[in-house]
Amino acid sequence: MNTSAVSVYPLPLSPEDITADWLSVATGHRIESAEVVDVILGTSTKIRVRVRSDTLPETLIVKGGFEAHSPMMKEMYANEIAFYRLIAPALPIHTPTCWFAGSDPDSHQSIVIMDDLVARGVTFLHAQRPERYEAVERRLGDLARFHAASWNDPELAPGGRWGWLVGRFSDWSMVYAERYLKPDMWRHYCESPRGAAVSVRLHDMAWMRRALKQFAEIEQQGPLCIIHGDTHLGNLYVEADGTPGFLDSQPSKASPFMEVVYHVVCALDVADRKAWEQDLLRHYLSKLAENGVAPPGWDEAWLQYRQFIGYGYFIFLINEIRFQTEAINTAYAARYGAAMLDHDVLNLVGH
């Protein structure tokens, strides 16, 4: 095998382009042979590759934009690559071993090569299997440690180490959101099973547009830190020893309470969330203190927690079935719809 003429760029745009030579250059490890054994479609495509190498695991996951919708997701893909290249090595968050992460400036493509967690025997979480209190409590402790490491960090400012991060309600993320704030598109989702799973009081597109604008203002009031950005159950796993793991990050500079409530509402059954959420938030605040952060007072934390329920509701009301199945979107939308009513979110934001 001669890889001297192979470059890591351009990045592969089809599974057939993932060759032993390319993988050798990308990972920096000599690979004698490579065979694609599984292709898992989704927001990004996960391709399982069996390799023959003296220094790498038997199988790797090559994740990237290999589908028809991928060009419109290029900013999202590049953002995840930045997480693996810049954030995961520097801040305390448990993720799979990353062998390569790069974005191609001449195409939509971004690719990360990581350990195959299936081969390692981890337990993957799922939207239709709500979590128990102890599991969410432990994960919030890990998120508190991660958030504390960049809590109101001056390096989040433009020109700082983390200055490249944008807010969750600015730039390309809001351009993406605007695609769904069109009457026909909005009506489509309100008339879908997920829309039927929530109160018709929550079908007001004009309210949603106002709320998204207000979330940007709330975000700027602070506190701010780096968040994982997408902690629903499908992006999480548990190691054999119980250690929580995090996948598929969409990092941003944002309110930590947006991340806390996003995870809590996604993770818990409706009845359990009502019973447990205040204790879980208090636990999170106590873990911030243990990690050297002076946490906000209860009233501030509880208000932002409740306000940002509206953000998660928007995400799963308009999430396309090519990204998550209708069953998953409906499960999350139902949980968020209940939380919206329980906390009277329509009167907390969107005025």
Q: Which of 78, 97, 120 is the last residue of a domain?
A: 120
Are 197 and 283 in a shared domain? yes
Helices (H), 115-204: 117-120, 133-148, 171-178, 183-190, 193-196
* CA–CA gap between residue 315 and residue 307 (Å, rounded): 14
With a CB cutoff of 8 Å and minimum separation 6, the contacts of 89 are: none
Distance between CA atoms of residues 91 and 114, nearest Å: 18
Residue 3 lies in a domain: no
- What residues have CB less than 8 Å from 196, skipping those under 6 apart? none
What pLDDT sits at residue 74? 84
Q: What is the mean pLDDT of each run of 10 residues along the chain (351 residues)?
A: 69 94 96 95 90 96 89 84 95 97 92 95 96 98 98 96 90 80 96 97 96 92 94 97 95 96 98 98 98 96 98 96 92 98 96 81
Predicted pLDDT of residue 198? 98
The CATH code of the domain that includes 240 is: 3.90.1200.10
11, 110 Cβ separation under 8 angstroms: yes
Tell me, yes or no, whether 322 and 220 share the same domain. Answer: yes
pLDDT at 69: 80
3-state DSSP helix/strand/coil percent for the chain, to nearest 5?
45, 15, 40
Q: What is the pLDDT of residue 4?
A: 54
Same domain for 306 and 230, yes or no, is yes
Q: Both 238 and 332 in a single domain?
A: yes
8 in any annotated domain: no
Q: Same structural domain for residues 59 and 130? A: no
Hey, which bits of 181-279 come out as E strands? 225-227, 236-238, 244-246, 252-254
What's the structural domain count of the chain?
A: 2
pLDDT reported for residue 1? 52
Q: Which positions ≥6 away from 118 have C-beta within 8 Å?
A: 48, 59
Which SS3 state, helix, strand or coil, does residue 106 take? coil
Same domain, 275 and 310: yes
Is 267 domain-assigned?
A: yes
pTM over 0.85: yes
Inside any domain, residue 195: yes
Q: Domain boundary residue among 61, 86, 120?
A: 120
Asked if the structure places residue 260 within a domain, the reply is yes
For residue 321, what are the domain limits? 123-347
